[in-house]
Structure 1
Amino acid sequence: MEYLVIKAGGSVIDDVSPTFYQELAEIQSEGRYQPIIVHGGGKLITRLLGQLDIPTTFVNGLRVTTVEMLDVIEMALSGSVNKMICRSIQSSGGRAVGISGIDGGLIQGEQISEELGYTGSPKKITEDLLIDLCGKGYIPVVSPVGQNASGQRLNINADTAAAAIASALKCPLLLMSDIPGIYSDEAGERKILSAVSTTQADMLIGDGTITGGMIPKVNGAREALINGVKEVLIFSGKAEKAISAYCKGQKIGTKIYLSEELLHA
């Protein structure tokens, strides 16, 4: 059995394929892969903050997190979105347990910078908690709210959290997105790249082809690959049976590789 970390982004979680949750249950029952879900909830967080007249700003795709935002973020991620995913998995025949990065010290992190406030990056993953849940037949569903050494809550980008968990488990990382992969724009023609190196991805960030929330995905992919993740895939969460296709070795989305791997391929 191999672990499979799947990041379900807040931008697509409301619009995933109707088969998504059934796929998770089927993949687990087949026994070859054990799915672990790490989810976002950005759309709900932004909506709730707007209702409270709390302004939202982003820097390179990361939300600037203030103290007054933390209760809203934790409520949205660890409460509403997390339990909705668990209910959906269980309604489709699977068994799910929802946890946050705070539970059991799963995601221990630190603040990235003063500019980003209480937005954090993961520094240590307590993977034994996930391994135990998987061993008992559950699909872990992880909300990316972590804490630092002094117990301060941190809002951690879901792509970054998923990359850290996949690194700890040395397994593939699948990043669901609202687009089917990384695009190139050559001679005015836009097409999906089936594979890119991290160097190529950096160039696409530099020329403005990759922007916004795709930047943390690429940066998280790089860190994951450096730290032992087997491969990283970005694909559309709206595509039917996309995860099943991946498990069968079929080509979907965009795979990201370390530059050295491409050079010696």
Structure 2
Amino acid sequence: MAEITPPVVIKVGGALLDSPHIANQLLAEIKTLQASTPVVLVHGGGPLVETMLSAMQLTSTKIDGLRVTPDEQMPYVCGALAGSANKSLCAMAIAAGLNPVGLSLMDGGITQCQLLDEKYGAVGIPATGKPALLARLFEGGFLPVISSIGCTDEGRLLNVNADQAATVIAELLGGKLLLLSNVDGVLDQHKALISELDQARLQEEVSLGVIKDGMLVKVSAAMQAAQQLNQPVTIANWSAPLTAILNNQSGTRVIPATQTSGA
């Protein structure tokens, strides 16, 4: 199998579906990027999950920024993430002239997932699996669009945090990771953008209570990926030009300790 250029792994939140203009702009930029670099799109779908659970009159809670997911809710969560959100993004990609393939974390053995902790219910923690399927898709010019639904080796469906899912895909492929959402990056206590964030600065902001909950999950995933990949991971706004983000002109770059220490 021919060696491929290290891909760009782009994670987007499910709220992107509520902003079709921004989604279309991002997908158009992905199409341009694909001419020179393989791209993977990993997505969440929190708003869709909330809407579906509310319609079913089911409660939804979070612990430490992670959604508690009872097993009996997994059919609805799976339907929202691997179904509605995934296919909506694939449809938008087709409209942008891309050739998407909708996947989940369990497809083709690309990841291996284990239960995080029973207190969270059916919530999984992913690990790298086999890159063969994604490599074949890159060879064919496809855009993998991956939902954050996984399962255990025993077949128990698991809800996985999408930032952590994207981190593992980036680790699997040795790719550059962009975590995109509707925030400009990581903000300090004065609401100013932190352009570069290393471990020491992260600990400082956590101790001040500035970085917490969902942002702490996001930044921790970014720091994990930065350490594993030995390269910065960018947290940025999906409305910013993709070229600006890739050229470190927008967002927060999470810096691995090996680079800050000079190792």
TM class by smaller structure: over 0.9
Of stretches 227-236 and 130-139 in structure 1, the one that deviates more from structure 2 is 227-236
Name structure 2 gaps, 5 residues minimum.
none
Matched with 1:159 is 163
The letter of the residue matching 2:219 is: V
Matched with 2:67 is 63
The one-character-per-residue Cα deviations of 1:234-256 (angstroms, maximum 9, x if unpaired) are 001133x2x12234x24110000
Aligned residues: CA RMSD: 1.6
8 Å contact kept, 1:63–1:116: yes
In the alignment of these two chains, the number of paired residues is: 257
* In 1, Cα distance between equivalents of 2:217 and 2:17: 18
* In 2, Cα distance between equivalents of 1:77 and 1:36: 16
* In 1, Cα distance between equivalents of 2:203 and 2:126: 22
The letter of the residue matching 2:32 is: E
Matched with 1:251 is 249
| 1:24 aligns to 2:30 (yes or no) | yes
Matched with 1:149 is 153
Of stretches 220-229 and 46-55 in structure 1, the one that deviates more from structure 2 is 220-229
8 Å contact kept, 1:196–1:254: yes
Matched with 1:190 is 191
Name the structure with the higher helix share: 2
User: CA 1:147–1:229 in structure 2 vs 1: closer, same or farther (change >3 Å)?
Assistant: farther
Question: Quick one: percent identity of the two aligned structures?
Answer: 32
Secondary structure of the residue aligned to 1:2 is coil
Matched with 1:137 is 141
8 Å contact kept, 2:231–2:255: no
Name the structure with the higher strand share: 1
8 Å contact kept, 1:146–1:155: yes
TM-score, with structure 1 as normaliser:
0.92
Secondary structure of the residue aligned to 1:110 is strand
Deviation of 1:231 (Å): 2.1
Of stretches 9-18 and 142-151 in structure 1, the one that deviates more from structure 2 is 9-18
* In 1, Cα distance between equivalents of 2:16 and 2:64: 20
Question: Out of 181, 184, 207, which is 1:177 matched to?
Answer: 181
The letter of the residue matching 1:19 is: Q
* In 1, Cα distance between equivalents of 2:106 and 2:154: 12
The letter of the residue matching 2:262 is: H
* In 2, Cα distance between equivalents of 1:136 and 1:40: 25
* In 2, Cα distance between equivalents of 1:238 and 1:11: 12
The one-character-per-residue Cα deviations of 1:43-82 (angstroms, maximum 9, x if unpaired) are 1101110111111111111101101210011111111111
Of stretches 93-102 and 254-263 in structure 1, the one that deviates more from structure 2 is 254-263
Deviation of 1:94 (Å): 1.3
The letter of the residue matching 2:29 is: E
The one-character-per-residue Cα deviations of 1:135-168 (angstroms, maximum 9, x if unpaired) are 1110100011111111111100000000011011
Matched with 1:104 is 108
Secondary structure of the residue aligned to 2:15 is coil
* In 1, Cα distance between equivalents of 2:30 and 2:98: 7
The letter of the residue matching 2:233 is: V
TM-score, with structure 2 as normaliser:
0.92
The letter of the residue matching 2:140 is: K
8 Å contact kept, 1:197–1:256: yes
Deviation of 1:205 (Å): 2.2
Secondary structure of the residue aligned to 2:231 is coil
The one-character-per-residue Cα deviations of 1:203-227 (angstroms, maximum 9, x if unpaired) are 3223211122211111111221222
The letter of the residue matching 2:254 is: I
Secondary structure of the residue aligned to 1:11 is helix
Secondary structure of the residue aligned to 2:86 is helix
